Chains A and B, each alone.
Chain A
Amino acid sequence: MTSEKSSISPVQMALFIIQTQIGVGILSLPSKVHMIAKGGGWISVLISGIVVQVLIFIMWALMKRFPNSTVYEISSQIFGNFLGKVVNFAYTGYFITVGVFVMVSFSDVLNRWMLPKTPRWAVLVLMVVAGIYLARGNIRMMARYYVLTSFLILLLILLVTYGFVDVDFTLMFPIQEAGWGNIVKASKDTFTAMYGFEMLLLIYPFVEGKSRGKLKAAFFANLFVTLSYTFTVFICLIAFNPEQLRLISEPVLYLIRRYQLYMVHRPDLIFINIWATTIIVTAASYYYAAATGLASLFGSRNHSKWVPYAVLCCFVVSLIPQTSSGMVKLSKFVDIAAYVFLHGLPLMLLVLSYLLKKKERGTA
């Protein structure tokens, strides 16, 4: 399966995961966690990061038993041909749904902050074209592009740091205002912003090196994302008062909008432009995941052919939800789906692979 041409290094894998994880969720995250956890919102992010580490460990344990297969191949090995296909179909559907979610949220933010009159399809076409182009290539090509654009994340963090110009540290106290129960509960919302680590299920077989190194890379990726999210949420919690956080839907953008940055009147537009790159990359990852799923469903070895179909699927579906209540429904659906596909199924596969004593043939 792994050919020399398409293998990537652990560092590339880490950046692949980071780029996929950093996505649409972060912009509204501070408001969401504050609603439940109040001043302790940043702790919720840390808790959520720990949960993701556990999930990464489960996925890694599964992938370690099948070092040359993607999740699609594993499920057909464990569940058999027919049931495996059903699971793979569901997984493909999940990746398409998340792709849709990314696209809808992206166009929603762009429409509200930057291009109020541009129709959604026009914004999405830009994303689709770039996404198809990226996802058609092999994993190495994608990873190289991800590495190339990863310095943009540092720029984003730098822009967020600019929010420090006017903060009040007392705003984060009392930390346990909402109680520890709510702080833990709010980590559920953070989890939505953390999607992307599931790429491990697909790119693991392409990564060079020992399994321990791969685990380290995945851990590091998640650690980086968790810390930068915590930092962002923390700044928003001390920059805005509770009432503002209740009113503002994207505190991270609002944070940057507040003051002029030298000559720039609207630094938030700069942020959106840089952020758009990371979102397109996130979408491309999901296009790739969905296309690989389609390829495996139809018994094809090459995913490139299936990319346009997967993207078309996402594109059409993402034009459906028009109102904000539709958006909420979609995000709820994605949340539930994530429990099944990120928590449930990987764990089930792992347990079954131990119970049925199934391992990849030819490896000890």
Chain B
Amino acid sequence: MKKGIAWISLFSMLLFLPGCWDQDDLKEARLVILYSMDRTSEGKIEQTAAIREVEPGEQQRIVDEIHSAVGLTERDSVNQLRKKTAGRVRHYDDLVYLIGKSLATSDIYPLLDVLYRDPKTAVYAKMAIVDGKAQDIFRIKKTGTFFIGQYLFEVLKNAENFSIISSPNTVESTFSKMLDPGKDFMIPLVKKTGEREVQVTGVAMFHGHRMTGRLHHDQAVLFNLLSGRYGKETRFARKVHPGNPDNPANYIVIQINRVKRKFKVATRPDGKVDVQLHAKLRAIAMEYPRNELENEKKIKKLNKTLSNMLTRESKEVIQKMQRARCDAFGVGRQLIAFHPEVWKRKKWSKDYPKVRFHTKVEVEIMGDDLLK
């Protein structure tokens, strides 16, 4: 009997004890939806955060509360921000993490370190570099029915679907690419283009931990096709007939359905590195006002025109990447894996621009929509 009471009291104690220390009620937490980092003119770090707030009342109105604070490090600026805000600001549910271009051109790892260290941060938040000051984007507040955080999230999700950036594009995926000595990465570049509008203008190329260049929209799509990580709605327009560039009849819009890719890194005895990069794009014509797709000869000609065009453009993309020293294809990773003795002799940020790419893109229009 006595023993029973002892056990019961022990268990009832346990019912009350656990949770007391780490209790953190969701209903009391003030969730940050969107936040950004900028460099101030004094060189310090400025954080801006949009905190979602539900106004009590009959119609529960949602408003975003926006705050900025300056600090020495990422977490320091969070602490400074918390001094100004009411309640418990929490980063459990961040949707998007923005970095101003002024910070991105220097080492971004110190900004991200705390996100990987703290188990309670949202590592699956999408990332973007802001062309200009990140803080300015918060002024949009609301676009249509979307609040700024959600709006940016959706815009970046579309960028993944359109292959501007490979999926997943999250804080976490950046972590793994950033630390790999044999691979560089890209982060989408967004710009405030209107009163209520943000546009993904391209991607920021990184080498090591800093931004070293940019690719514009179409080039980014081409890069993703070449690297074989493309989205569901990869489509673009190209002018395939000579004549007036303002006449839509001179254009074709194709949607890429499949990419067959060959990527081979070979080394020569003298240490030179050759990369064979062949991409076979299977596409359908989404829009083609000339309606000539029943003629096999004309399709072949179209294929050839597009292939040549895209091959030339790809070469430009790769040139641009090499100038930025951005090894986003992971040539270095291939060397580490399959030619380790060559890799050891290389100083990659100097030797990567010397790599010779042999690029070829083949377009094959497989079919069409309802019309020929």
Residues of chain A whose beta carbon lies under 8 Å from any beta carbon of chain B:
112-119, 122, 125-126, 129, 166, 168, 170-174, 177, 239-244, 247, 257-260, 265-266, 268
A129 touches B179 (CB 8 A): no
B123 CB-CB contact with A under 8 Å? yes
Closest Cβ–Cβ distance, residue A39 to chain B (whole Å) = 8
Contact check, A118 vs B119: say whether CB atoms are below 8 A apart.
Answer: no
In the assembled complex, the CB of B18 is this many whole angstroms from the nearest CB of chain A, namely 6
22 contacts between A and B (CB under 8 A): A112-B119, A114-B22, A115-B21, A118-B18, A118-B22, A129-B11, A166-B176, A172-B337, A173-B336, A173-B338, A174-B336, A177-B340, A247-B179, A257-B123, A257-B172, A258-B172, A259-B124, A259-B170, A259-B172, A265-B93, A265-B124, A266-B119
Task: Mark contacts of B320-362 with chain A using CB atoms, 8 A cut-off: 1 yes-contact digit, 0 otherwise.
Answer: 0000000000100110111010000000000000000000000
Closest partner residue, chain A, to B119 (CB atom): A113
Question: A265 CA to B18 CA in the complex, in Å?
Answer: 22
Whether the pair A129, B14 counts as a contact (CB closer than 8 A) is yes
Contact A174–B180 (Cβ < 8 Å): no
A-B pairs with beta carbons under 8 A, tally = 81
- Alpha-carbon distance between A171 and B334 when the two chains are bound, in angstroms: 9
B190 to chain A, nearest CB (A): 22
Q: Tell me the chain B residues, 2-24 only, with Cβ under 8 Å from chain A.
A: 10-11, 14, 17-18, 21-22
A213 to B58, CA, bound (A): 71
What A residues does B92 contact at CB under 8 A? 265
Contact A122 B172 (CB under 8 A): no
Q: How far is the CA of A125 from the CA of B15 in the complex (A)?
A: 12
Interface: B305 (CB within 8 A): no
Given contacts A173-B338, A259-B124, contact A119 B14 (CB under 8 A): no
Query: Does B158 sit within 8 A of A, measured CB to CB?
Result: no
Instruction: Say whether B123 contacts A115, CB under 8 Å.
Output: no
Q: Contact between B119 and A129 (Cβ–Cβ < 8 Å)? A: no
The size of the chain B interface, using a CB distance under 8 A, is 31
Residues of B within 8 A of A174 (CB): 336-338, 340
Contacts of B338 in A (CB 8 A): 170, 173-174
Is B289's beta carbon under 8 Å from chain A?
no
Beyond A112-B119, A174-B340, A241-B179, whether A259 also contacts B168 by CB under 8 A is yes
For the complex, is B251 an interface residue (Cβ under 8 Å from A)? no
Contact of A257 among B119, B173, B336 (CB under 8 A): B119
Whether B337 pairs with A170 at a CB distance below 8 angstroms is yes
Give the contacting residue for A243; candidates B93, B119, B170, B181; CB below 8 A: B181
Q: A113-B119, A170-B330, A243-B179 are in contact. Are A126 and B168 (CB under 8 A)?
A: no
Chain B CB within 10 Å — which of A116, A117, A258 has the most?
Answer: A258
Task: Determine how close the nearest CB of chain B comes to the CB of A178; give it in whole angstroms.
Answer: 11
Chain B proximity of A210: nearest CB distance (Å): 41
Determine the chain B residues whose CB is within 8 A of the CB of A129 once the complex forms: 10-11, 14
11 further interface pairs, Cβ-Cβ under 8 Å (given A118-B22, A126-B14): A114-B22, A116-B119, A118-B21, A122-B21, A126-B18, A129-B10, A170-B333, A172-B337, A173-B336, A243-B181, A257-B123
Contacts of B17 in A (CB 8 A): 122, 125
B11 touches A260 (CB 8 A): no
A166 touches B168 (CB 8 A): yes
Known: A244-B176, A260-B124. A116 touches B18 (CB 8 A): no
Pair A265/B14 contact, Cβ less than 8 Å:
no
* Residue of chain B at shortest CB distance from A165: B168
The answer for the CA separation of A299 and B110 in the assembled complex, in Å, is: 61
Tell me which residues across on chain B come within 8 A of A113, comparing CB atoms: 119
Contact A243 B180, beta carbon cutoff 8 Å = yes
In the complex, A113→B118 CA distance in Å? 9
Q: Which residues of B are found within 8 Å of A168, using beta-carbon distances?
A: 330, 333
A241 partner, pick from B14, B172, B176, beta carbons under 8 A: B176
- B333–A171 touching, CB < 8 Å: yes
**Chain B: which residue is nearest A133 at the CB level?**
B7
- Cβ–Cβ < 8 Å partners of A257 in chain B: 119, 123, 172
> Is there an interface contact between B21 and A119, defined as CB atoms closer than 8 Å?
yes
Instruction: Provide the B114-129 mask, 1 if CB < 8 A to any CB of A, else 0.
Output: 0010010011100000
Q: Which residues of B contact A240 (CB under 8 A)?
A: 176
How far, in Å, is A255 (CB) from chain B's closest CB?
Answer: 11
Which residue of B has the minimal Cβ distance to A116?
B22
Question: Separation in Å of the B355 CB from the closest CB of chain A?
Answer: 16
What residues on A are CB-neighbors of B124 within 8 Å?
Answer: 258-260, 265
Complex CA gap A259/B169 in Å reads 11
In the complex formed, the residue of B with least CB distance to A266 is B119
Task: Determine the chain A residues whose CB is within 8 A of the CB of B93 once the complex forms.
Answer: 265
| A118 to B14 CA separation, bound complex (whole angstroms) | 13
A250–B337 alpha-carbon span in the complex (Å): 24
User: Contact: A122 with B18, CB < 8 Å?
Assistant: yes
How far is A24 from B123 in the complex, measured between Cα atoms in Å?
Answer: 25
Contact B337 A258 (CB under 8 A): no
The CA of A92 and the CA of B336, in the complex, are separated in Å by 49
A242: chain B residues within 8 A (beta carbon): 180-181
How far, in angstroms, from A31 to B168 measured CA to CA in the complex?
24
Q: Tell me, in angstroms, the Cα distance from A81 to B169 when the chains sit together.
A: 68
The answer for the CA separation of A244 and B178 in the assembled complex, in Å, is: 10
CA distance A51 to B181 in the complex (A): 35
Q: Are A258 and B18 in contact (CB under 8 A)?
A: no
B334 in contact with A265 (CB, 8 Å): no
CB distance from A124 to the nearest CB of B (A): 12
Residues on B with beta carbons closer than 8 Å to the beta carbon of A170: 330, 333-334, 336-338
Q: What are the residues of chain A within 8 A of B172 when measuring CB–CB?
A: 257-259
In angstroms, Cα B24 to Cα A118, docked, is 12
What 0/1 readout, one digit per residue, does chain B (50-69) give for beta carbons within 8 Å of chain A? 00000000000000000000
User: Considering only CB atoms, which chain B residue lies closest to A259 in the complex?
Assistant: B124
- Closest residue of chain B to A246 (Cβ to Cβ) is B179
A112 to B119 alpha-carbon distance, docked (Å): 8
Q: Give the shortest distance, in Å, between B173 (CB) and chain A (any CB).
A: 7
User: Considering the chains assembled together, what is the distance between the CA atoms of A276 and B14 in angstroms?
Assistant: 17
Q: Which residues of chain A have C-beta atoms less than 8 A from B22's C-beta?
A: 114-118
Task: Kindly state the separation between the CA atoms of A16 and B241 in the bound complex, as whole angstroms.
Answer: 74
A119 to B19, CA, bound (A): 11
B176 to chain A, nearest CB (A): 6
With A118-B21, A122-B21 already in contact, the answer to whether A173 and B337 are too (CB < 8 A) is: yes
